[in-house]
Structure 1
Amino acid sequence: MPHFYEISDRIAKCGVASVTIVNTFFIFLTVFHIRGISGTYKTMIIIMAVMGILLSILELLARPFVHNYNKGWIYFSLNSWMNVHEGFLKLTMIFYSSFYIVMLSHISVQFLFRYLVLVSPKTAKKFTGKGILFSLCVSIFFGVIDGVALMIFGLSDEYSDEYMMVEMLNKYELAIKDFPRFIIVIYGADGSLRYRNVMYLVSAGVDVAIQYLLIIFCGIKMHLVMNQGFKNVSVANKKIHKQFLRALIVQTIVPTVLFVFPAVFVLLSPILDLEMSFQTGWIYALISMFPSIDSIGFMYFVSEYRKVIKKIYLAMIPEKRSDQSELDINP
């Protein structure tokens, strides 16, 4: 019978395949068929789809997993198919952790841009050209903060290795020195706080909180503007703005439910110093599905995608196309 982490790995691989197929299709539609989305926002959603594919590639390389044990957790790699130096796998783990923050930050930038389009179009124009490159650099900056914090505050030491050694041997049949790892243990043997590890939790929490504060602020403001201040805007424009807002909300809710809520437990449960032993790495199997769900949600809520997909489908099936033509002639 396969171990839970092996099942999780299979789910993650299915997620990688689905992301590659769905996001490639989404990019194809956006570039060659969608006319209602243009300019800066079109570039932003293409960047988001590309990021999803890159995240799936990083997941294949890093094969990340997490295990929570009492007052600590260990973030490690189960990559056994690449005969490479441990330092390389650690680097892929850092990139993977950072890249999710980059994607979350890019979603918050999209919220800010859509809000500015509604209330200050002149300011929104600053996102064009070099502006979008700058916004991408800002997203990368937040990801770098997370990666550097993990590299500085999350490196294992003699105490953390000893603390996790027996647990990893029992649960995964792995010797603690034989695989790349980052370990957070909140309390020392005498019960005192290990401030280096605490600093990682603080930095990661602040990093994520900034993104969600911006998302919530812009989301509420957009909702109020569309309900109260949209009197002089055409019905068509109202409709497309509402579709974009719904799509952005899905882009936020999906990773929040699939990753952020579970991650809060993973990150903060050691503070409670409870007796526990959980293979919490299943959250990476869930997050592997996020980019494809994100793209599917966007295509569902923005009506032009549905129309284009239906048109392509009918063009591929002559019988359906002829039936549709007859319906058009004889309503």
Structure 2
Amino acid sequence: MINWFEINKIVSQFGFFITTSSQLTVIFLTLLFVRKDLGAYKHLVVLFSTVGVLFAILEFLLYPGLHLHNAGYIVYINNRPFDASKPLLTLILAVYCSLYCTAISLLAVQFVYRYIAVFYPIHLKYFDKWYLLIWVCYAVWFEFQWGGGIFKFDEVDDYSEEYTRQTMMDYYQIDVSEVPCLVNVVYQTIPNSTDTFIRWNNAFNTLNMTFVGTLQYSIMIFCGYKLYYKMEEKLSICSDDSRKLHRQIVKTLLLQIITPTIVMYSPVFLVIYLPLLNLDFSLPMGIFLGIFSLYPALDAFILMYVVTDYRRALKDVLKVLNPFKKVTVSTLVVIPGQAQFIP
């Protein structure tokens, strides 16, 4: 029998290593080596990278799992870090889920910043100094809305516990009543009948996640579209260096639309919408959670590959750290009456 928990654990460990190393590298380069022309965008990059690191750390500590079953799904933890209580770990599980929303919200803010930088540069002051807190609050607001919705509306009750009990035992040898988990079951069957009714608590959470996710994605699409098709005429009055930098960052943002669409949005919307069809199936999806933690790493690789400043800074750092670099040895040549160094 396939050990799904071990598979989830391996993916989580891999995601933790790749994400933390890449995001810490981005933070290091951004704060110490990348030129100041990026302006407040540097702060947004550091914020996004920090969230990515936190997401990977929680993934590594919790080893969360995800399972789709007929009209519902369950997110669970089969691990007890620091021997924490079940209620506390359930809360931390909701926080883990909310960091996903924080990441996509900060990504949307990056699109807004670049849109304003190209079309309304006079308003960039609203991203600097204490104004940056407004955008942090924006991301945190939706983090609480997403995480709070999951924690409140997907709270386990008698029906959802029984609904997932046999499946969790068959696939993972887990007693669902013993593990921290959050369960969403859209439909409930009436006893001794084929009729069903909607479980509105769980349905409200689906609506909540749809609203938040669609809002962030719409911002990204709108700004990305405007930047791609309207940018050239706006950049005609900029210097060559500014045009080059804007184009590189816009290229980065466009890749930041394609990549999360495949890695983050598609899996999440599959998970929250497939139960609405109430099909007869059961599918382990824990590996998708590991893929979510890999997205910040992919974002870091995009940034370091596309933006010249990051590429140059990374090369400079690697040259300094390279243990096999050639060392120039100077030879002292002694000539009567003088001494001279010859490299």
TM bin, normalised by shorter chain, reads over 0.9
- Deviations along 1:102-151, one digit per CA (max 9) or x if unpaired, are 11101111111111111112222111111111110110101100111112
Q: CA deviation at 1:317?
A: 4.4
C-alpha contact (below 8 Å) 1:36/1:304 kept by paired residues: no
1:147 counterpart residue number: 147
User: Aligned-residue CA RMSD in angstroms?
Assistant: 1.9
C-alpha contact (below 8 Å) 2:118/2:235 kept by paired residues:
no
Instruction: Check conservation: 2:102, 2:142, Cα contact below 8 A.
Output: yes
Counterpart of 1:23 in structure 2 is 23
Give the number of aligned pairs. 323
- Matching residue within 285, 290, 307 for 1:302: 307
Tell me the residue number matched to 1:329.
none
Quote the residue 2:203 is aligned against: 198
Paired letter, 1:100? Y
* Corresponding residue number in structure 2 for 1:210: 215
Find the aligned partners of 2:319 and 2:83 in 1 and give their Cα distance: 48
Report the equivalent of 1:328: none
Of stretches 269-278 and 122-131 in structure 1, the one that deviates more from structure 2 is 122-131
In the alignment, the residues of structure 2 paired with residue 2 and residue 321 of structure 1 have an alpha-carbon distance, to the nearest angstrom, of 50
The structure in which a higher percent of residues are strand is: 2
Select the residue among 292, 298, 301 that pairs with 1:287: 292
3-state DSSP of counterpart to 1:160: helix
Of residues 251, 272, 277 in structure 2, which corresponds to 1:272? 277
Q: TM-score, normalised by structure 2?
A: 0.89
Write the deviation string for residues 249-307 of structure 1: whole angstroms up to 9, x where unpaired.
23333232112201211111111111111001111111121111111110100011212
Cα deviation, residue 187, structure 1: 1.0
Q: Which amino acid aligns with 1:214?
A: I
Relative to the length of structure 1, the TM-score reads 0.92
- Maintained 8 Å contact 1:94/1:147: yes
Please list, as runs of the form range in 1=range in 2, the aligned pairs for 1:224-303 lying within 5 A after superposition. 224-303=229-308
Residues of 1 paired with 2:135 and 2:58: CA distance? 22
Q: In the superposition, relative to structure 1, how do residues 316 and 189 fare at CA in structure 2: closer, same or farther (>3 Å)? A: closer
Q: Comparing 104-113 with 27-36, which one deviates more in the overlay?
A: 27-36
Distance 2:50 2:324 in 1: 35
- Provide the rounded CA distance (Å) in 2 between the counterparts of 1:98 and 1:134: 19
Counterpart-to-counterpart distance in 2, 1:104 and 1:226: 24
SS state of the match for residue 289, structure 1?
helix
1:16 touches 1:288 (CA, 8 Å); kept in 2?
A: yes
Q: Match of 1:275, SS?
A: coil
Assess if the C-alpha contact under 8 Å between 2:73 and 2:271 holds in 1.
Answer: yes
Q: Answer with 126-135 or 218-227: which moved more.
A: 218-227
Counting only pairs closer than 5 Å after superposition, residues 122-133 of structure 1 correspond to structure 2 as 122-133=122-133
Q: Which amino acid aligns with 1:308?
A: A
Name the structure 1 match of 2:120: 120
Give the secondary-structure state (helix, strand or coil) at the position aligned to 2:184: strand
1:183-214 per-residue CA deviation (whole Å, 9 max, x = no partner) reads 11111113111111111100000010010111
Helix, strand or coil at the partner of 2:187:
coil
Tell me how far apart the structure 1 counterparts of residues 236 and 38 of structure 2 sit (CA, whole Å): 24
Residue 83 of structure 2: aligned partner: 83
Per mean C-alpha deviation after superposition, the further-off stretch among 104-113 and 72-81 is 72-81
Give, in angstroms, the shift of residue 38 of structure 1.
4.0
1:49 is matched by which residue type in structure 2? S
Q: Does 1:92 align with 2:92?
A: yes
Larger mean Cα displacement after TM superposition, 33-42 or 171-180: 33-42
Q: Using the TM superposition, give the Cα deviation of residue 49 of structure 1 relative to its aligned residue in structure 2, in angstroms.
A: 1.1
1:148-182 deviations in Å (ceiling 9; x for gaps): 11122111111111111111111111112100111
Deviates more, 1:223-232 or 1:60-69: 223-232
Greater gyration radius? 2
Partner amino acid for 1:292? A
In 2 relative to 1, CA 259–5 (structure 1 residues): closer, same or farther, beyond 3 Å?
Answer: farther
Q: Unpaired segments of 5 or more residues in structure 2?
A: 191-195, 329-343
Distance in 1 between residues matched to 2:87 and 2:282, nearest whole Å: 27
Corresponding residue for 2:104? 104
- Gaps in structure 1 of 5+ consecutive residues: 324-331
